[in-house]
Amino acid sequence: MKAVVRKQRPLVGHQMAFLTIIGFWVFHAVIVSLRASVLDFPAQDELAARRAAVTLVGIVLTWLLYLILRLFDRKPLGVRVATAFVAAIPCAFAIAWTNFYIFNIYDPISLFSDRDLGRRVQELRDLTGYTVWQEIAEIGVTRYFFIIAWASLYLALGYAREVGEAERTTSRYAQAAQDAELRSLRYQVNPHFLFNTLNSLSSLVIKGEKHKAEAMIQNLSTFYRTSLSSDPLEDVTIAEEVELQKQYLEIEAVRFPERLRTQIEIPPHLADYRIPALILQPLVENAIKYGVSRSTRPVTVTISATEGDGWIALNVTDDGEKCVDTEQHGNGIGLANVRDRLEARYGSAARLVTEKGEQGCFRATITIDTEPKDLA
């Protein structure tokens, strides 16, 4: 199968190149015409007509130079600069020869209102011993620097476009890397949760609690269908996230029917605020693992949301019997996952703080800096 090679766009398009060439030459013609007018040269109309002819030739030759430089668009900048300096030489001297021919060979006497004066000027020029090629060379040098000025503008425009493309490419790669990181962190949650749930399911099977095992499988299926059907890069509302955590807690309620109590405290006006999907999952897991499973009495796991001046906080607390440092249990994978996802999504505008609660065993709080307009 033949590979398809995508043709790269030119750094400077035809339209932009044509406009810059026209602009340069029209500016040159205007300046020279003003000079002739100020110095009160004779035969202004004739000079203007010949100057227009030189300008037209200059535009054509500069366009040819552009077509040459365009062939080196994707070469290193040094190669492009060297090409411009070399290719400008024949272009400049072709313009110089055209200028010399139109003003000095083609009926030069008609440029003087007094034809006798014109003949005497021509004879005086012949007596100076200045050869044709010397005059062309002198004109060519000035035209060369004029052409180089345009070529410099062309190279600058091309380089600016190249830098812009590089920045956009870098931005796309950075965004792709961030998206990949977010997806990776999101899907780290599911295997971690599945490992704990399968352990619970295995325990129920060993104990012969068939109906509880079936209920857990059904709830697990519902939980995974809901959590995996959403895009990992998209946010969900607090209400949707809490509903997902309710499904998880129903799974754990099969395992701890007598010990697990749940409480949801989400103000209605915060329910539509959007957060990363499954961001509360590791926190709720920790509350179950270190609060409920190690307690001999009923434990209440509370999911709540509060707001302040420019921030919103999501809290997961439990009132278990004994407070433990969750960073030292389970290798802290869940909490590290939450912190990494918050950093990838919000940068320094979000943070996770874990602490011993005043009325409970453990509190995990996600604080997100926000503006009032972000609240639905």
- Give per-residue burial for 118-142: e unless 16+ CB within 10 Å, then b: beeeeeeeeeeeeeeeebbeebbee
Residue 171 has a pLDDT of 77
* Regions in the chain scoring below 70 on pLDDT: 1-8, 40-44, 105-131, 175-193, 196, 227-233, 322-333, 357-360, 371-376
Residue 239 has a pLDDT of 93
Name the CATH topology of 209-374.
Heat Shock Protein 90 (3.30.565)
Could you report the per-residue pLDDT of 121-180, keeping only the tens digit for each? Answer: 455 555 555 567 777 888 888 889 989 999 999 999 888 888 888 888 777 777 666 666
Residue 307 has a pLDDT of 92
Residue 64 has a pLDDT of 93
CB atoms < 10 A from the CB of 202, how many?
11
Could you report the per-residue pLDDT of 81-130, keeping only the tens digit for each? Answer: 999 999 999 998 898 888 888 777 665 545 455 555 445 545 555 555 55
CA distances to 80, 89, 134 from 141, in Å: 21, 9, 11
Residue 125 has a pLDDT of 56
- The token duo for 16 is 């932009």
Is the separation of the CB atoms in 74 and 85 below 8 Å? Answer: no
Residue 251 has a pLDDT of 83
Domain coordinates in residue numbering, the chain: 14-171, 209-374
